[in-house]
Amino acid sequence: MTTLFYIEHNNGKISDQSLKAITATTNIEGDVHGLIVGSNISDAVAEASKISGLNKLLHVDDEAFDNVLAEKLTQVMLNVANDYDYFLAAATTTGKNVMPRLAAKLDVSQISEIVSVESADTFIRTIYAGNAIATVQTTDAKKVLTVRPTAFKAATTDSAECEVVNITAENIPSISEFIGEELTKSDRPELTSAKTIISGGRGMQNGENFELLDKVAEKLGAAVGASRAAVDAGFVPNDYQVGQTGKVVAPELYIAVGISGAIQHLAGMKDSKVIVAINKDEEAPIFDVADYGLVADLFQVLPELEQAL
Amino acid sequence: MKILVPVKRVIDPYVNIRVKSDQTGVETENVKMSMNPFCEIAVEEAIRIKEAGKAEEIIAVSIGNQSCQETIRTALAMGADRGIHVLTEERVEPISVAKILAKICESESPGLIISGKQAIDGDNNQTGQMLAALTDMPQGTFASKIEIDGEKVKVTREIDGGLQTVNLNMPAIITTDLRLNEPRYASLPNIMKAKKKPIDQKSPEDFGINVSPRVNILKVIEPPKRQAGIKVESIEELVEKLKSEAGVI
Ligand SMILES: Cc1cc2nc3c(=O)[nH]c(=O)nc-3n(C[C@H](O)[C@H](O)[C@H](O)COP(=O)(O)OP(=O)(O)OC[C@H]3O[C@@H](n4cnc5c(N)ncnc54)[C@H](O)[C@@H]3O)c2cc1C
């Protein structure tokens, strides 16, 4: 058995999401090969080659992969697919974009966002916004899986360097074109890797008021997140959204401010170690999952919280 | 141009999900069903493109049991022109849905296929990408903006770091994210009119597709319940607890 794992990177660093997801391969027998793409990424390649458990690293050193498009990356994996039994990636927007395309090309029924590897063909994943947990067994010979990073501990990157092999990208289709990216700039840690998160909901009333959260986040070294309602209303960009259809997070501390606690929001944060809820409605469902609840007006207590830290 | 919109019937997003005691799945008897919210967004977007004069016909497709006709009727009431219902009692996996849709694409030759990014029951997020693979079309997943320009479609995508824009050759596949639009409600006259719109009934066999599941569901259980904790009276008490009791700050 051999596994191909797609490794994401940005700004010369391996993505924390990939480092967590690759840990799922420790329960799969056989060698693990990494795949990394992009030109001028020697730092990322060097770091990737030292990921614990990795036996070999394939590198596509090609400008065409400086921005990853599903049509192109799928073809790269297809070109080497005969050599592999398992294909894995983190369930990021890139993993979710690419892996089903690969699965269909291989005529495989993909298993999405696994949280556990039970055996060679059996995996656990959540369905219905985390309201049910399914154990599923695939009958496909080749397996294509995406992995929910929060369910795994990050692999270390201090092993001896593994072999790095440059591969060329052949038969790459040109049916799509990258135009540009508008990435949200922030001095705060990334939502999915932050140890502490403070999120705001509709109760924040507008985008300017998110500054109240920023100030607390600054003191705590926390990331700032949001509910769907806050994103839909335009208070904050889409990449702040925590939930069933946004990001899944599991920090040490999650502080929900002015968020009611709809099931779709809980799906993205209920595995946090400690949950704090600040809401003026004592009946809000968020209090059912909160370790510490404070029934209060957020506009009064957020400045107090900032002061107290 | 034709636009094909696959629509899925799912348990309504605001229903409390109950896991069956025999661990075979979740309770669906006497439970309110709705069109998957992301599919509603897809139908709405197709209608807006047609209203802008860039498409002539919208075809809504649903695959599943007899009740899926209702879901197709909802799409027709919103403004789709005709429906295709592929009748099956099987649990149809995304790969099989994609195979059937690929066959329909062969005969209908749509210029765009707009689907939801994920169905809120299985949370798989696969079908659109799989259909793109099977038809060798480009894909614009998690779309928050769609602009058609001649033979190309520009798609703004919601990605983990923000937004990404790609340009796709048409025909292309787009999957919807939440910010693409706010779906309309069907008006009563349109609901009445929808009753007269045609729905073509097919079976997976008509397309030569075997939809037997490849993934067996061994067991479905409830997630561990989180216990509600305590209420604190003040920020001072909260900070004290987080420091000394929880040890997280
Ligand atoms: C298909 C689908 C997918 C979805 N995906 C997601 C998702 O990924 N993530 C997500 O979050 N949601 C998602 N939702 C939406 C979800 O159902 C809820 O609508 C949303 O989470 C509500 O956001 P909210 O809690 O901010 O707003 P509300 O429910 O309006 O709650 C606002 C809260 O703020 C409190 N409040 C108001 N003013 C104050 C004040 N001054 N001080 C203190 N408290 C105050 C109120 O008491 C209330 O509890 C999805 C829905 C659907 C249908």
Q: A58-103: per-residue pLDDT in tens?
A: 999 999 999 999 999 999 999 999 999 999 999 999 999 999 999 9
Q: B180-202: per-residue pLDDT in tens?
A: 999 999 999 999 999 999 999 99
Q: B33-47: per-residue pLDDT in tens?
A: 999 999 999 999 999
- The nearest CA of chain B is from the CA of A100 a distance in Å of 5
Ligand 1 shell residues, CB under 6 Å:
A 201-203, 227-230, 241-246, 258-260, 262, 264-265, 268, 279-281, 284, 297-299; B 13, 37, 120
Query: If you write DSSP's letter for every residue of A138-154 in order, what string do you get?
Result: E--SSEEEEE-GGGSPP
| pTM reported for the whole predicted model | 0.98
Q: A124-157: per-residue pLDDT in tens?
A: 999 999 999 999 999 999 999 999 999 999 999 9
List CB contacts of A298: < 8 A, sequence separation 6 or more.
A203, A204, A212, A257, A258, A278, A279, A280
Q: B55-89: per-residue pLDDT in tens?
A: 999 999 999 999 999 999 999 999 999 999 999 99
Mapping DSSP to helix (H, G, I), strand (E, B) and coil, where does residue A74 land? helix
Alpha helices in B90-228 (DSSP H): 94-108, 127-135, 188-194
Best CA proximity match to A44, nearest among A55, A31, A33, A59: A59
Pick B166's closest partner by Cβ from A102, A176, A247. Answer: A176
- ipTM, 2 dp: 0.98
Distance CA B166, CA B139 (A): 9
pLDDT-derived band of residue A187, with 50, 70 and 90 as boundaries?
A: confident
Q: B150-172: per-residue pLDDT in tens?
A: 999 999 999 999 999 999 999 99
Judging contacts by C-beta atoms under 8 Å, the chain B residues touching residue A10 are 161
Distance CA B211, CA A159 (A): 45
Task: Check: CB of residue A261 under 8 Å from CB of residue A288.
Answer: yes
